Chains A and B, each alone.
Chain A
Amino acid sequence: MNRIVFVFLLVTMSALFCGCWDRVEIDDLELVIGDAHDLADYAGKTGVQTTFQIANPQAMVSGLGASAGGGAGGEGGGNGGGTFWVVSERGETIRDSVSKMNNRIPKQLFLGHERVAVFGEKAARSGLTPFFDRLTRSRESRDTKFIAVSKGNAGRILELESPVSQSTTQALNTIFEDKDGWEGILSVNMADFLYRLSTGITSPVAPLVEVVPQTSMTTKEKKEGMVNTIALTGLAIFDTQAKLVDTFNERETMGLMWVINRAKNRVLTIPHVAGGKAEPISLNLTIAKSKIKVDIEDNGLPVFEIKMQIEFDLLEHFSKHQEVIGVGLIADLEKTASTQVINEIEAVLKKSQELGTDVFGFGEEVRRQQHRDWPQYKEHWQDIFPIVNVAIQCETQIHNRELSVEPPGSRTEGEWHQ
């Protein structure tokens, strides 16, 4: 008897409790892969415009790329043969605008796969804080989601097709995931941004994405007239209220990445004077470490010391004047590289002090290292930051020279090296 009851319970329970009321078939879902948020006029007031990039799973999985299908839908959506289509709506809140999309889209919108949120310039200038509520409250989106700020309208970024990936947000996501710390690429996910925002002293930053003319085109594409694509062009700088203040260019972004320990992969090209002519040498970053030390000066102001320790490998010597990459040359190069790094850091330091945005987290370093003195700076940090003194030290080491000892063609047979 007991065994029969047990089997009966087991069968009925396993049949009944598979997802309960929330069971959803994947065929019934529209998978949103990226979203863009803009400010727009709505019913006479300032509302939001939400744009979704929605995957077309069949085309996306086959990996044909946007160029094969062509014709992604414009506003309002329309299922073309492309890898994705786009839908855009306006409303008072983000959820309000999303709910209006239901009038046009047959399947349920599913936001669990959105990887990148792009914010328009206008929205960023007015402050991003209200936009984050939907993103953190929703049980579908994650804090690891990447954010970016677009120059101009964010919806435009999503409407573009990408020649190098299935879609623009897919391309952005892959860049942010795999190339974080490369050159001037600084990926910022929601948790990072919101942490910086929550300190009230450190300025949040987000990568800047821009529509640029396309350079990777086949002849066929040139005929069809696909001329634009997207690229990361620097960093958007916010104030402590999450309002966009200004942007950093690529060089300034790289300067910032040295200081905040985010530089991972970098080709640094430095001039090397040989035979009376400056010739470029490229170095490849292997390890970069920075430390910020805080002291309090006699006049009561904090003074900072940034200590960089960087290791490079020599990557390329683009030169007519041939020369063995030896110990003496490397010592010279190390000095030049240090100067270059210090220059980059000074450039970004100057700009951020002019803007009054503490992107380095100097205020937090004071709070951590000079804990007792912090309360007296806390209220006035916006006024103190632009006038603090920062000393930069850089120690560079060049370890290896890859597979060549000296460049080919530098000497001929019988010519002994001096």
Chain B
Amino acid sequence: MEPGKISERQLAFLITAMLVNTVILLMPQLGARAVEQDAWLTALLGSVWGIFMVLVIIALARRYPGRTPIEYLPLILGKPLGKILGAIYVFWFLSVGAVIVFEFISFLKITIMPKTPLAVFMVTIMVLAYYALRSGLESWARVNEILLFVVLVAIAAVIILPYHNLDFSRLLPLAEHPPGLLIASSMVSGSWRGEVILAGMLIPALARNKHTSRNLIIVVVLVGLFLAAMEISTVAAFGGVPAGQKEFPFFSLARMISIAKIFDRLEVLIVIALVLGTFFKICAFLYCSTLGTAQIFGFKRFQFLLLPLTVLMIGLALNSFKGMPELTDFAANVWPGYALLSFELVIPLLLYLIVLFRSRQVRKS
């Protein structure tokens, strides 16, 4: 169905762009609010969940080579149940994509352009995403290869440049909070890391599929380290409690950069990282929901579904939340259950167990 082919490196880069972005907006706040100065530990622990998910999704993909999860769900669960679960998954892709879009446009509205209507940001990013997806997976995966570098450098600059405001003693005492609490709050960051399961939809489009699991595990771990560095920098600048009191702590951190009175007001770095990175994230979610829809109904092509689904995503994004308080509440309380504990880890794990059980029965008989 997907005519284009991407390389393993392009997949790894695409997943990196997805995992690094939008997390930088909410995670520092939620992490610091839950476990204060130990927030960076939860960012690291989140990678452990991510590794589990990579292993499960790759194991399933090995069983059904050349098929996406939407295609092999009916093979595992039977046609009616599999199609229904597939449809639910497609809705999940669409709704999480809508959350990302909303997060992105509210950030821009709150921090940079408060008087500009949401529709402006919405239309620009969605028109761009639609245009990119129409040009095919291959083309936007390649663009990402070029732009990911800019995103990572911009974020790394914000982590490093406020160095004279950082007081690392604010990170002590280390691991003050009980391990249970640390693991529980690592589920929030683990849920974001779990977006790696979108790789399942992209694996059939790979030209070669040899090192995918190794690549993805490396990506998950490196992104974990990167985000931990971000948390360390944020907490060292503000302290555990004040970091949790800010809406966008990492953005506030970028505003603290002032080097030799010349490099001042560099919050634009965050906006660069966010606009470029979120674009690919939205593309990935929109692509997966479109491809999934086509596969549920057995269409030969999916391009004609792009426009309606783009519009649907806009509608969902505009109507899901009133504002940041609701979004933050969702991310802190609902998101782990909606992602890690259901669609990202638990359901794929159950599916894999069913597959294992089945194959053992087949072997016995």
Q: Which residues of A are at the interface with B, using a C-beta cutoff of 8 A?
A: 13, 17, 19-22, 136, 139, 142-144, 177, 191, 194-195, 198-199, 367-368, 371, 374
Known: A143-B238, A194-B238, A371-B176. A21 touches B169 (CB 8 A): no
B238 touches A22 (CB 8 A): no
B113 touches A191 (CB 8 A): no
Contacts of B359 in A (CB 8 A): none
Contacts of B255 in A (CB 8 A): 142-144
Give the residue name and chain of the A residue nearest to B172 (CB): A368
Q: Does B124 sit within 8 A of A, measured CB to CB?
A: yes
Q: What 0/1 pattern do residues 110 to 141 of B give for CB contact below 8 A with A?
A: 11111111001000100000000000000000
Give the residue name and chain of the A residue nearest to B115 (CB): A21
B239, B240, B246 — most chain A CB neighbours (10 Å): B239
Q: Does B26 sit within 8 A of A, measured CB to CB?
A: no
Q: Does B165 sit within 8 A of A, measured CB to CB?
A: yes
Q: Does B237 sit within 8 A of A, measured CB to CB?
A: yes
Nearest-CB distance from B178 to chain A (Å)?
13
Contacts of B170 in A (CB 8 A): 195
Nearest-CB distance from B135 to chain A (Å)?
11
Nearest-CB distance from B32 to chain A (Å)?
11
B239 touches A22 (CB 8 A): no
Q: Specify which of B110, B115, B256 is in contact with A191 (CB 8 Å cutoff).
A: B256
A20 touches B116 (CB 8 A): yes
Bound form: Cα–Cα A199–B152 in Å = 33
> What are 18 pairs between A and B in contact, CB < 8 Å?
A22-B112, A22-B115, A139-B110, A139-B114, A142-B256, A143-B237, A144-B258, A191-B165, A191-B256, A194-B239, A195-B238, A195-B239, A198-B240, A199-B241, A367-B173, A368-B169, A368-B173, A371-B173
Bound form: Cα–Cα A191–B252 in Å = 10
| Number of B interface residues in the complex (CB < 8 A) | 30
Bound form: Cα–Cα A367–B170 in Å = 11
Nearest-CB distance from A80 to chain B (Å)?
29
Contacts of B261 in A (CB 8 A): 177
3 interchain residue pairs of minimum CB distance? A198-B241, A195-B239, A20-B116
Contacts of B111 in A (CB 8 A): 139
Nearest-CB distance from B250 to chain A (Å)?
13
Nearest-CB distance from A147 to chain B (Å)?
14
Q: Does B242 sit within 8 A of A, measured CB to CB?
A: yes
Give the residue name and chain of the A residue nearest to B109 (CB): A22
Nearest-CB distance from B39 to chain A (Å)?
14
A20 touches B120 (CB 8 A): yes
B116 touches A21 (CB 8 A): yes
Q: Does B245 sit within 8 A of A, measured CB to CB?
A: yes
Bound form: Cα–Cα A65–B112 in Å = 34
Bound form: Cα–Cα A21–B112 in Å = 11
A191 touches B238 (CB 8 A): yes
Bound form: Cα–Cα A194–B242 in Å = 7
B173 touches A136 (CB 8 A): no
Give the residue name and chain of the B residue nearest to A193 (CB): B242
Contacts of A199 in B (CB 8 A): 239, 241
Bound form: Cα–Cα A177–B260 in Å = 10
Bound form: Cα–Cα A177–B259 in Å = 11
Q: Specify which of A139, A144, A198 is in contact with B239 (CB 8 Å cutoff).
A: A198
Q: Specify which of A20, A136, A144, A371 is in contact with B113 (CB 8 Å cutoff).
A: A20
Give the residue name and chain of the B residue nearest to A200 (CB): B241
Give the residue name and chain of the A residue nearest to B248 (CB): A139
Bound form: Cα–Cα A195–B242 in Å = 6
A143 touches B256 (CB 8 A): yes
B124, B165, B173, B252 — most chain A CB neighbours (10 Å): B173
Contacts of A177 in B (CB 8 A): 261
B172 touches A22 (CB 8 A): no
Within 8 A of A (CB), among B216-266: 237-242, 245-246, 252, 255-256, 258, 261
Bound form: Cα–Cα A8–B255 in Å = 36
Nearest-CB distance from A271 to chain B (Å)?
36
Bound form: Cα–Cα A177–B255 in Å = 16
Nearest-CB distance from A290 to chain B (Å)?
13
Bound form: Cα–Cα A24–B172 in Å = 44
Bound form: Cα–Cα A198–B170 in Å = 11
Give the residue name and chain of the A residue nearest to B244 (CB): A198
Give the residue name and chain of the B residue nearest to A196 (CB): B239
Q: Specify which of B113, B165, B238, B242 is in contact with A21 (CB 8 Å cutoff).
A: B113
Nearest-CB distance from B164 to chain A (Å)?
10
